[in-house]
């Protein structure tokens, strides 16, 4: 930080802003003689001033120390006009042209701070620097080598981008040719994208690349390895690599044993490196909300309900011991009124009664008792089926298609009915008991209802818990709310101006979340035409959004290979989970709210402990993208469906028991994943060339799956 | 996706081969054969647009030929138009911080379907009904029924006027069926053809009430325009202003 302060002071002095300089110096308590007698003049165009002035803290969470962000952002946007801020560090040629300029060789430190990718020395020497570092790391001790090898990829990318940015195309190309094969296999996709970026203009339009440049790549290295690296880099004469490390990398140092390659491999892979430890330290209320107490009409065959945490027992004459448990507040559960939730209507209460009755007849699943799977195949969809959802009571199924239609089917023999027209409604007897039946139109009852309205493929659908509404989000950038009583569109929520990839209703209704190509997720309420919360932080598209069962948190999976957990109350990101090697396409919370399962294009299912913020399991077995994940109703079985045409069942109880959550693990984030995927796999069920895109456990623990038949 | 069938070199034109090679370089190995045609068409259209723009810029700068700067300018202008990219990250973080500061709004109980204000919903009718009653000849002194035309009504504020026409058309005409003496009630508006076109709701005579003149629908002849027939003395069944189109035109033409 001292360096930044010195740089800013020099800058202010050069721009003749004496008063600001004095004030800043006083506040920073720096002495004047610290700055030396540098007289080099550097052009101070207004963007440059603005860039430096815009260093205020709080500009982005990963900005860290450097005020690098603003200037680098403005840099590429100045098309055509040579931006002086950019060329502040500039080539030596530029410096020489300044009148009375004294090119001081130690200036690079100052200007390095001020611009993102200044000229850090001779471009032709980059290959030498890199291979020098490579040699050093390969000769280091085994225990340190794995950790230091983490440095290769970010360094490679940043050096390459620097060469491209400063328009040394041929050097960039040869640098890439020489070293791209050394990188880890899971970075190959990124490298391919990188290889197509050969000119500076290419970098401008690519938001992900710009974010990569301005955010700091996080590395977790043990103290010993770090000391080794630092010593080596500072010994060298021209520590260009050290400069890059300081500017673009954030090294999270921990005390303890260096990690093994296996441990590191499990956690890396995201676009911004791993997550800093502080990112996962906030308290998360992962407990469930208490169910309200109400009278339940008892049938003759009613059994005891399931003893869910905090759920009160039904009103039997004798009070069970669970009843007393419900009085205690679960310390991990959020307060009931932490976020406003809609009150329970009578129809909701009836629904809950039905739920409890069904729960009584639920099959207990386990390794010996696997669920039966009922597969709904969409025929003649011609690869146009893009989203599926099933209601909680499994009565309706909706499909979103690439031809921008949304089709709703009734799964039960009961047909879909819409409310009669106004003319007919005036004719019915409003006082009769079955008025709710009479308002429904029998003449147009059908098994299928088609909803038209979107102007692009429909990528996400979600039923509301009370089955009155349906949401659909599409490539046209809108989220539409449909009424399932009139089968018409009610509202179009415009906010994302880019394709929206996923949407979901909250488990209590009223709120819904959507995530799209603009890299943010938005929280909406059905009665507000603008979002209530914006969750910004991902570096690439948000591909998957899910509510936590207590509706207080939202998990978003993104194409930057991370999963973030956001707090609905204040929009903060409370957890960052890295480890996947491809964009995340499916998320599932366990019913008890403590764990999260995620699936991505790399074919692995990762299990996370939300409370501690750690990875607790890895399920290998699928060979293609996992599009569907679902826990059974009591959390004993995890089902995963994938593009490789299979549904796999995993033993969730066994996966989550015996967790190592001692202090060391939580402090350092070290994990030791057992290689037990084979033990946890309970069954693999293949379809006849139908990728599985949706899974749903009915209230009685029958597994429903859905996919579109693809004929090859 | 069907496996790519690379056209044999002797039959595919050079452009198609180049495009296939580009796809291969970008790592795309499986694609339908029509993708190449689509990509070629896009490339052709894009390049033509840019070059045409560049020609315009260079002729504007009075240059004799198109040079690289013109092309660069053309590319830049088109990029801002058609290839927009999502906002940058710090901007998003900024607006997110602003938006997340406001507390979550409380939920009103017992409020029926929770939808945004009608203006933001798609629940308003986007049509108006055309009544079927024929206009009686004007000499009889009868008032004619206001006719409404079918037409898309785009995003009108949902003042009560909107809902009423369709619902109340029938009722108004029913009311109108019991006329007060209309001798003085018929209003004729002569529209000289020199009047500027364009919708204007201003009545041309002070005694005309609630007339909408829509010259765009008016033919070359002078038109008899009827009002909504509310006798000035009686209470207006529809106290709010109502617009209606010229209806004689439909009969005459």
Look at residue A328 in the predicted model and tell me its pLDDT: 67
Beta-bridge mates of residue A471: A462, A481
Is residue B88 included in any domain, yes or no?
A: yes
Within-domain flag for A103: no
Interval B174-197: pLDDT, tens? 344 344 444 444 444 444 444 444
pLDDT in tens, B22-33: 998 888 888 988
Contact B99 A531 (CB under 8 A): yes
How high does pLDDT run on average in chain B? 67
Strands (E) across A298-451 are located at 373-378, 385-390, 396-401, 406-410, 448-451
Per the CB < 8 Å rule, is B90 touching A537? no
Q: Are residues A503 and A607 in the same domain?
A: yes
pLDDT the model gives residue A565: 96
Of residues A29 and B110, the one with the higher pLDDT is B110
pLDDT along chain A (712 residues), means of 10: 77 83 78 39 34 35 33 34 34 32 34 46 78 86 85 87 83 86 83 82 75 82 87 75 82 83 82 82 87 60 40 41 54 88 87 89 90 94 91 95 95 90 83 83 89 96 95 96 94 94 95 95 95 94 95 95 94 93 95 94 93 90 95 94 95 81 60 82 92 94 93 74
3 state DSSP class of B19: helix
Looking at residue A212, which CATH number applies to its domain? 1.25.40.500
Residue A449 in any domain: the answer is yes
Structurally, chain A folds into a number of domains equal to 3
Q: Chain A, 532-551: which have a CB under 8 Å from a chain B CB?
A: 532-537, 539
Lowest mean pLDDT of A74-88, A105-119, B3-17, B107-121, name the range: A74-88
Sheet containing A694-697: which strands, arranged edge to edge? A373-378, A703-708, A694-697
Residue A494 contacts B, CB cutoff 8 Å: no
Helix (H) or strand (E) holding A564: strand A562-567
Q: A582 vs A541, A543, A695, CA distance in Å?
A: 12, 11, 21
| Structural domain harbouring B43 | 14-101
The distance of B109 to chain A (nearest Cα, Å) reads: 7
Residue B247 lies in a domain: no
Q: What is the pLDDT of residue A27?
A: 81
> For A533, which of B1, B99, B110 is closest by C-beta distance?
B99
Specify the DSSP class assigned to residue A477: S
Q: Which residue of B has its CA nearest to A566?
A: B100
Task: Tell the burial category of A585 from Cβ atoms under 10 Å away from its Cβ (0-12, 13-18, 19+).
Answer: buried
Q: What is the mean pLDDT of residues B62-77?
A: 92
CATH of the domain at A702: 2.130.10.10
- What is the Cα–Cα distance from A13 to A11, expressed in whole angstroms? 5
Q: Does A21 share its domain with A139?
A: no
Q: Are A311 and A290 in contact (CB under 8 A)?
A: yes
Q: What CATH number is given to the structural domain containing B59?
A: 1.10.20.10
pLDDT at A295: 60
Q: Which two tokens stand for residue A185?
A: 């296999």
Question: Do the domain assignments include residue B215?
Answer: no
The residue among A259, A290, A323 that closes a domain is A259
Residue B250 lies in a domain: no
The answer to whether residue B51 is domain-embedded is yes
| Interchain contact, A207 vs B93, CB within 8 Å | no
Residue B130 resides in a domain: no
Are B92 and A491 within 8 A, CB to CB? Answer: no
Residue A175 in tokens:
């640098």
Residue A589 phi/psi, 5-degree rounding, is: -90, 145
Radius of gyration of chain B (CA): 31
CA distance A203 to A212: 11
**Residue B76, domain member (yes or no):** yes
Using a CB-CB cut-off of 8 Å, the residues of chain A touching B84 are 497
Are A205 and B79 in contact (CB < 8 Å)? yes
Half-sphere exposure of A377 (CA within 13 A, CB side): 12
Contact A647/B at CB under 8 A: no
pLDDT the model gives residue A296: 57
* CA dihedral of A481, A486, A488, A490, whole degrees rounded to 10: -40
Name the domain count of chain B. 1
**Domain assignment of residue A11, given as a range:** 1-29
Chain B interface includes A333 (CB < 8 A):
no
Compare all CA atoms of chain A with the CA of B96 and give the residue at the minimum distance. Answer: A534
Are A88 and A46 spatial neighbours (Cβ–Cβ below 8 Å)? no
Q: Residue A163: what pLDDT?
A: 84
Residue A682 is assigned to a structural domain of this protein: yes
Full DSSP string of A208-259? HHHHHHHSPEEEEEEHHHHHHHHHHHHHSSS-HHHHHHHHHEEEEEESSPPP
Given a cut of 90, is residue B83 above it in pLDDT?
A: no
Q: Is residue B1 part of a domain?
A: no
Q: What angle, rounded to 10 degrees, do the helices at A152-165 and A188-195 form?
A: 10
Interface test with B, best of A173, A423, A535, A536 (most B CBs within 10 A): A536
* More confident call, A657 vs B145: A657
Taking contacts as CB-CB distances below 8 angstroms, the residues of chain A near B90 are 59-60, 69-70, 73, 214
Say if the Cβ atoms of A339 and B104 lie within 8 Å: yes
Of A232, A259, A286, at which residue does a domain stop? A259
Both tokens assigned to A570: 């204040």
| Buried b / exposed e along A190-228 (16+ C-beta atoms within 10 A) | bbeebbebbebbebbebbbbbbbbbbbbbbbbbebbbeb
Nearest CA in chain B to A524: B104
């Amino acid at each position: 930080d001292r360096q930044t302060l010195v740089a800013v002071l020099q800058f202010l002095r050069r721009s003749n802003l004496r008063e600001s300089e004095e004030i800043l110096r006083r506040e920073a308590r720096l002495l004047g003689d610290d700055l030396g007698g540098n007289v080099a003049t550097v052009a101070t165009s207004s963007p440059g001033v603005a860039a430096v002035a815009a260093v205020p803290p709080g500009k982005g969470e990963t900005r860290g120390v450097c005020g690098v962000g603003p200037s680098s952002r403005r840099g590429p946007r100045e098309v055509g006009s040579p931006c002086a801020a950019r060329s502040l560090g500039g080539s030596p040629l530029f410096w020489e042209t300044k009148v009375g300029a004294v090119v001081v060789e130690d200036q690079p430190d100052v200007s390095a701070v001020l611009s993102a990718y200044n000229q850090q020395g001779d471009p032709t020497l980059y290959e030498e620097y890199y291979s020098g570092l490579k040699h050093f790391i390969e000769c280091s001790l085994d225990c340190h080598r794995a950790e230091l090898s983490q440095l290769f990829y970010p360094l490679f990318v940043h050096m390459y981008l620097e060469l491209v940015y400063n328009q040394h195309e041929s050097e960039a190309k040869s640098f890439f040719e020489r070293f791209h094969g050394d990188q880890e296999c899971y970075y190959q996709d990124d490298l391919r994208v990188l290889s197509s970026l050969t000119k500076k203009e290419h970098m401008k339009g690519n938001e992900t690349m710009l974010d990569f440049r301005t955010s700091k790549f996080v590395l977790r290295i043990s103290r010993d390895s770090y000391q080794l690296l630092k010593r080596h880099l500072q010994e060298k004469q021209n520590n260009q690599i050290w400069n890059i490390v300081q500017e673009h990398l954030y090294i999270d140092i921990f005390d303890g044993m260096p990690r093994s390659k296996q441990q590191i491999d499990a956690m890396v892979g995201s676009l911004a490196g791993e997550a800093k430890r502080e990112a996962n330290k906030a308290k998360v209320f992962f407990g469930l909300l208490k169910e309200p107490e109400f009278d339940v009409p008892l049938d003759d065959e009613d059994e005891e309900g399931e003893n869910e945490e905090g759920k009160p027992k039904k009103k039997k004459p004798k009070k069970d011991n669970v009843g007393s448990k419900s009085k205690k507040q679960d310390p991990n559960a959020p307060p009931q009124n932490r976020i406003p939730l809609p009150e329970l209507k009578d129809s909701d209460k009836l629904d809950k009664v039905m739920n409890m009755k069904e729960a009584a007849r639920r099959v207990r699943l386990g390794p010996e008792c696997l669920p039966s799977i009922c597969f709904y195949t969409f025929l003649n969809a011609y690869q146009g089926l893009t989203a599926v959802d099933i209601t909680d009571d499994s009565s309706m199924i909706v499909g979103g298609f690439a031809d921008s239609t949304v089709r709703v089917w009734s799964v039960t023999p009961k047909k879909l009915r819409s409310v009669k027209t106004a003319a007919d409604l005036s004719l019915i007897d409003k006082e009769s008991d079955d008025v709710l039946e009479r308002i429904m139109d029998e003449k147009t009852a059908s098994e299928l209802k088609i909803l038209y309205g979107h102007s692009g493929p429909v990528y996400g659908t979600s039923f509301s818990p009370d089955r009155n509404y349906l949401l659909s989000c599409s490539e046209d950038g809108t989220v539409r709310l449909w009424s399932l009583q009139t089968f018409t569109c009610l509202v179009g929520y415009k906010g994302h101006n880019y394709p929206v990839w996923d949407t979901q209703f909250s488990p209590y209704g009223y709120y819904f979340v959507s995530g799209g190509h603009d890299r943010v997720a938005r929280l909406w309420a059905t009665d507000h035409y603008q979002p209530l919360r914006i969750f910004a932080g991902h570096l690439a598209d948000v591909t998957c959004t899910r509510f936590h069962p207590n509706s207080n948190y939202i998990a978003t999976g993104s194409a930057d290979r991370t999963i973030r957990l956001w707090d609905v109350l204040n929009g903060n990101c409370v957890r960052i989970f890295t480890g996947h090697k491809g964009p995340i396409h499916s998320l599932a919370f366990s019913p008890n709210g403590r764990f999260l399962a995620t699936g991505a294009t790399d074919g692995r299912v990762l299990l996370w402990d939300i409370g501690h913020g750690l990875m607790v399991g890895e399920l290998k077995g699928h060979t293609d993208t996992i599009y569907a994940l679902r826990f059974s109703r009591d959390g004993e079985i995890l089902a995963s469906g994938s593009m490789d045409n299979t549904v796999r069942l995993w033993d969730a109880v066994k996966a989550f028991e015996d967790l190592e959550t001692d202090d060391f693990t939580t402090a350092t984030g070290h994990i030791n994943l057992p290689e037990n995927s084979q033990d946890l796999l309970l069954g693999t069920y293949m379809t006849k060339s139908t990728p599985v895109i949706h899974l749903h456990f009915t209230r009685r623990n029958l597994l429903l799956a859905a996919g579109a038949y693809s004929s090859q | 996706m069907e496996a790519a069938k690379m056209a044999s070199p002797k039959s595919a034109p050079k452009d198609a081969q180049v495009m296939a090679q580009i796809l291969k370089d970008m790592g795309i190995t499986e694609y339908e054969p029509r993708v190449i045609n689509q990509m070629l068409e896009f490339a052709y259209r894009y390049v033509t647009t840019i070059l045409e723009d560049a020609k315009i810029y260079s002729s504007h700068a009075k240059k004799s030929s198109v040079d690289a700067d013109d092309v660069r300018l053309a590319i830049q202008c088109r990029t801002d138009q058609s290839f927009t990219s999502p906002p940058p990250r710090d901007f998003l973080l900024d607006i997110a911080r602003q938006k997340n500061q406001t507390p979550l709004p409380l939920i009103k109980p017992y409020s029926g379907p929770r939808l945004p204000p009608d203006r933001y919903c798609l629940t308003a009718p986007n049509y108006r009904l055309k009544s079927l009653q024929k206009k009686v000849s004007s000499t009889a002194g009868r008032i004619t029924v206001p006719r409404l035309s079918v037409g898309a009504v785009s995003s009108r504020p949902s003042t009560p006027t909107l809902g009423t026409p369709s619902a109340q058309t029938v009722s108004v005409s029913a009311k109108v069926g019991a006329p007060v003496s209309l001798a003085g009630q018929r209003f004729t508006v002569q529209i000289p053809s020199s009047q500027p076109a364009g919708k204007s709701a201003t009545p041309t005579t002070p005694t005309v009430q609630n007339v909408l003149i829509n010259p765009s629908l008016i033919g070359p002849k002078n038109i008899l325009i009827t009002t909504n027939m509310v006798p000035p003395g009686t209470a207006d069944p529809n106290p709010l202003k109502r617009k209606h189109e010229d209806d004689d035109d439909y009969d005459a033409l």
